[in-house]
Each structure stands twice: as C-alpha cells, then as structure tokens.
Amino acid sequence: MKEKRKSAGLPPGSVVFTGSQKVEKISIHYLQYDADFLDEKNYDNHAKITFHQSAPERIDWYDIRGLHDTQLIEAIGKTFNVHTLVLEDIVDVDQRPKFEEYEKGIFIIIRALAFDKVNEVITTEQVGIYFRKGLVLTFQETESDLFELARQRVQRGRGRIRTRGADYLVYALLDVIVDNYFLVLEEVDDVIESLESELLQHTDNSIRERMHHLKIALLAARKSIAPLREAISRFAKSENELIEDSSTVFIRDLYDHTIQIMDLVESHRDTLNGLQDLHLSEISFRMNQVMQVLTIITTIFVPLSFLAGMYGMNFDNMPELHYKYGYFILVSFMFLLAGGLLFWFRTKKWL
C-alpha cells in the first residue's frame, strides 16, 4: 500500500500511477479476430502503435502490460473515449475488484493472485478490463502473460470463443484468472499440510511465524476474492446490452467458482486457526511434561539430599553416626523413600 496515496487530494479523474514500476518497458499485445479471421501483433515500442477499432463485427483486443506511463494510458483513453474515472482506477493499483457500467462501456477490476513458495506469501496484481462492442482493453501491471491460456484458445479457434462477442472474451479472461485461484489455494493447502505434520513433531520457533504469515496471506486473498464475488454477481445479473443472453449461463458458472473459492479460503482459514490452537495446546502440553520431569527429580532428590546434609553435620553428639550400620540403614531408607515417591507419581499418572 506504501505508494498508494501519491494521488491523495488530487481532483477526481487524475490519472496517477500509484504502484511501484514493475516492468522496464511497456509491451502491448494486439489481437484482432472474428470467426474466420485472425491478426496478431506484438509491440515492444508503443510509440509505433496506432490504436484504432476495426469493423464492429470483429473483436480488437489490446493487452497492455506495464502501467507506469500515464500519458500512454490517457492517450488510449482518449482514442477509445473511456471515462476518466476508469483511467484513474486503471493506474491506481490498489483497487478492490469491482464491476462498473459506464455509458459507453463496462469496466471490471480483478486481482490476479500468485503464491510465492519461498516466502509463503500471496502476491496480488491488479488487472483492469474495459470492453464495449468489438473492443476489449486489458491492463496488467507486469509482463507475465496472465491470459496465455485464453489467447491460445482464440488462436486455435477452439470452443465458442471465436464466434462470440467481446463479453464472452471478457468472461474467458476472468475465467482464466479465477481458475488460477484454485492453483494458488492448492499451494496454500500444501503449506498448511506441511505445517501440520511439522507441528506434531517439534515446536520449532519458525512455525509460529509461518502460521502467522500464512494467515495474513489468506486475509489478503480474501480481500481480493470477496469483492470479486460481488462484482461477478453484478456481471451475471447486469442487463446491459453489451452482455448477450447466451453468455449469462457461463458468467453464472464463473460466479459459482468464486463462491467455491471463498469456501476454500474460509476453510483454509479455519484449518489454520485449528492448527494455531493445536500449536498452543502442544506448547502447553510440553511445558506440562517438562514441569513433571522437573518436579519428579526435585521431589525425589531434595529430601534425600536433606538427609545426606543432616548426617554431614558436625555436631559432637550425633549418636546415629556411630552406629555400626547407620550408613547402610540410611542408604536403604533412601532407596525406600525414592521408591515410594516413584510409586506415588505413578498413581498420579505423572510417569
């Protein structure tokens, strides 16, 4: 969140990039298609692009990766007549997922998740999707090709994707990101399982911290997913003419997936809470055991040591010291005493 509020206090609609620059060069991928036609271009130097929209029966998809050049964003916005509040949100990279209908188009924010296995944290990246009839604009923070699977489907012409409108393409893009959530949560699940098995073997100092960080990570994931559920629900229920009736059943299916993911997140959180409770009672239990050992040793030897101390005293008149078998009697008594105490501990179930 650290970089966020560069824009604090600026007038609304100010296009200010609030993230930290994650890519050196902005790259733009362009795809134009209809059922029979496919054109694809990759621009590393965006100065050369002429943004345009082709005939409305075709679909133009610009995939912009890298958001730090706000002039470019503003230029795109101008070309395609996008509301300035949308442009502001695209480059303000700590937005909650949302679904917003504007007069001329629909704007969706979604957050892509990734699991960093080394630090066991979940990283998120904001993805902005703007579409209208025949045009889809996607804005990513990084170079990673989040939409690869969807793009391949377009390229291969598999499935319905080539014959449907922009709304179906947007659905497919969202679907790819939401499907990825399952993979991230599976990795979280693996970590939770490894934590559980470690927990039952030893109380390593680091387990606590790992559980704490995983919990924070799940909180972050939940913060991305909960509003997404709502946004996709509004997508499914929207009566906007940009969304064809035949797409609704698919968006509803996507909505089911987000519910399923929320369930998973909640159940991971519950499991993690259970582990923390288990961990705490594990520590308590071990402390108890340590205390028992201490108590047993002390309780046996302190009285014996006292007896030994007694007969180490230097009083002139200590008759026992002069008994012929005094020493042996005492040692025998000590054995009896220790044995009696051990027996008592056994009845108390401390041994």
Mark residues 174-193: x for contact with a second copy by CB under 8 A, - for none.
-xx--xx-xx-xx--x----
Using CB under 8 A, which residues numbered 203 to 222 contact a second copy? 203, 205, 208-209, 212, 215-216, 219-220
Sign of the C-alpha dihedral, residues 324, 328, 331, 335? negative
Q: Considering only the stretches 34-42, 63-71, 120-128, 321-329, report the one whose residues sit in contact with a second copy under the rule CB under 8 A.
A: 321-329
Q: How far is the CB of 224 from a second copy (least distance, A)?
A: 10
Cα separation of 243 and 161, whole Å? 14
Determine contact, residues 166/242, Cβ cutoff 8 Å.
yes
CA distance 283 to 241: 60
The contacts of residue 105 (CB under 8 Å, 6+ apart) are 82, 86, 130, 131, 132, 135, 242
Provide, rounded to whole angstroms, the least separation between the CB of residue 49 and a second copy. 28
Q: Give 26 or 181: the residue with its C-beta nearer to a second copy.
A: 181
| Residue closer to a second copy, measured from CB, 137 or 272 | 272
Shortest reach from residue 50's CB to a second copy, in Å: 30
Asked if 52 interacts with a second copy (CB under 8 A), we say: no
- DSSP secondary structure code for residue 97 in this structure: P
DSSP secondary-structure letter at 11? Answer: P
Minimum Å gap between C-beta 122 and a second copy is: 13
Site for a second copy in 8-37 (CB under 8 A): 8-13
* Alpha carbons 167 and 173: distance in angstroms, whole number: 10
Q: How far apart are CA 215 and CA 328, in angstroms?
A: 63
Residue with Cβ nearer a second copy (46 or 74): 74
Q: Does 301 bind a second copy (CB under 8 A)?
A: yes
